[in-house]
Structure 1
Amino acid sequence: MSILITSAMSAKAHSLKNQLNNNDIILGDYHEVPQFMLSAKLMGLPNPASVSYAHQMLTLCLDNSIKAIYVLDSNEAKQLVETKQLFAEYDIQINTDEI
């Protein structure tokens, strides 16, 4: 099972990745990510301004076997904290402590 860290283009995301020391970490960002950088370990995320953001994120997590999300962006955190129970029903943990 994988771990998703948001704000992939930030130094904080890479620092957290090193701290977690897990081989199944995926970095993601909703900001523009150069196409050549996108891969199985770095992906584009839905924009938290989207009305269906939480459901898009849930689908992304289920499709990629993600069991934990470390949210480093306050816009994303605001949206995901409101739907924490929905993610918990699918055994997906949302961590916003890093903000």
Structure 2
Amino acid sequence: MNILITAANSAPAYKLKNQLSNDNVIMGDHLDLPDFMLKPGKLIRLPDPNSVSYTHEMLTLCLDLGVEAIYLFREPEIELLLKAETLFNEYNIKILVKGNEL
């Protein structure tokens, strides 16, 4: 099971990653990340929540990567993806909110 954690450039996201007993954790962020951080493969650039097709871009990304759970930290991501929770549930992708830390 792959897990996606957003807000990859934040300490709470890394704290969560260390708490999970899963080797298949993918960290991602829509904010700027240095290119050297993206190359190892476990850190990805996520779609921008300001995009009109953000929900569909995130769903496509999750399906392509085999993500079964998304931990959300930032308010724009939380707001948009919780509105589409039913759609994600149809593809067996859980949306989990860990947002109050940021």
TM category, shorter: over 0.9
Verify: 1:19 aligned to 2:19, yes or no.
yes
TM-score normalised to the size of structure 1?
A: 0.96
Task: Compute the RMSD of aligned alpha carbons.
Answer: 0.7
For 1:16, the aligned partner's letter is L
Residue matched to 1:51: 52
Residue by residue over 1:10-59, the C-alpha shift from the partner in whole angstroms, topping out at 9 and shown as x without a partner, is 00000000111210000000000111110321000000011100000000
- What residue number does 2:61 align with? 60
* Unmatched tracts of structure 2, length 5 or more: none
* Matches of 1:58 and 1:88, distance apart in 2: 11
Secondary structure of the equivalent of 2:14? Answer: helix
* Paired residue total: 98
CA distance in 2, matches of 1:41, 1:21: 16
Q: Provide the residue aligned with 1:5 in structure 2.
A: 5
Q: What residue in structure 1 maps to residue 92 of structure 2?
A: 91
